[in-house]
Amino acid sequence: RNTLGSVKGPPLRQHACRRQKGFARHSLVMKTISKLLHCLPLLGIAGGYSDARDRPDRPSAARTYNYFAFGSNMASSTMINLRNLSPLASTAAVLPAHKLRFNLPGAPLIEPSSASVEPSSGDGDVVHGVLFKLSEDDFATVCRTEGVPFAYVLHRCNVVTYTGDGGTAGASALRREMEGGQARGSSSVSAFTLRAARKSWRDRMDIPPSQGYLNVLVRGAVEYRLDKKYLSFLESIKPGMTIGNGLAEQALSFAELRGQEGRRRIG
């Protein structure tokens, strides 16, 4: 079914264990290198589709996972053209009692940081994003390319889905859920998202991200017509100091060019 439902347990076991700092550093370096490599057209990134909402080319796997994206993965082109994934379905969603953070360190002056989410007890703290339904293979790819479990760890959460209208649809859906979603037909969905792996990262001040990275977040928010208030919040975030605008937006542009070439060859 091309619908979003409950998820089953993760294919990766989550357990508490101490990791050497070198592993975390290595993972961050590899995550940054991965972003750099995505800029190279020689990779032959596959394309052919531009809409994550309708993917008839690949059958749904028996096991699927709900993944809540809040950063650059909100843009469907990131998932399809850059990561070469085939989302089975997607929709706007809001994660209550969490805050958007930029506490995952990257490469200074290039891509200083990446986004994360952290639980919050602040009144009205929410994170809007996109809920993707993924096959098991695609979900494993997201985990691998995002550096789980050294850069990020999987974070189980419940999000409220909504049909974006660029206004207040998300806030309205969340309010209905809080006022008695069970009785009216709940729109809350169990999902996995990503959280900074190390407590020291979670506890420190945010690192301002590149302007290019922020542009991709805004692009995803506009595409899925997230709430206007949240879009304004994203647009108000001040970028950090970088050489140019960083690499995130350029990487996505390269991937889209490859996708266009692929479509021309097919056509």
Contact 24, 198 (CB under 8 A): yes
State the alpha helices, DSSP H only, in 179-210. Answer: 181-184, 199-203
Q: In one letter, which amino acid is 155?
A: H
Q: In one letter, which amino acid is 146?
A: E
pLDDT band at 62 (very low <50, low <70, confident <90, very high): confident
Arithmetic mean of pLDDT, 35-58: 34
pLDDT value for 18: 42
Per-residue pLDDT tens over the stretch 116-136 = 999 999 889 999 999 999 999
pLDDT value for 228: 98
Instruction: Identify the weakest region by mean pLDDT among 4-8, 35-39, 217-221, 238-242.
Output: 35-39
- Dihedral pair phi/psi, residue 223, rounded to 5°: -60, -45
Q: How many residues does the chain have?
A: 267
The answer to whether the Cα torsion of 208, 164, 152, 16 is positive or negative is: positive
118 burial level (CB within 10 Å; 0-12, 13-18, 19+):
middle
Contact 105, 200 (CB under 8 A): no
**Distance in angstroms (rounded) separating the CA atoms of residues 27 and 89:** 29
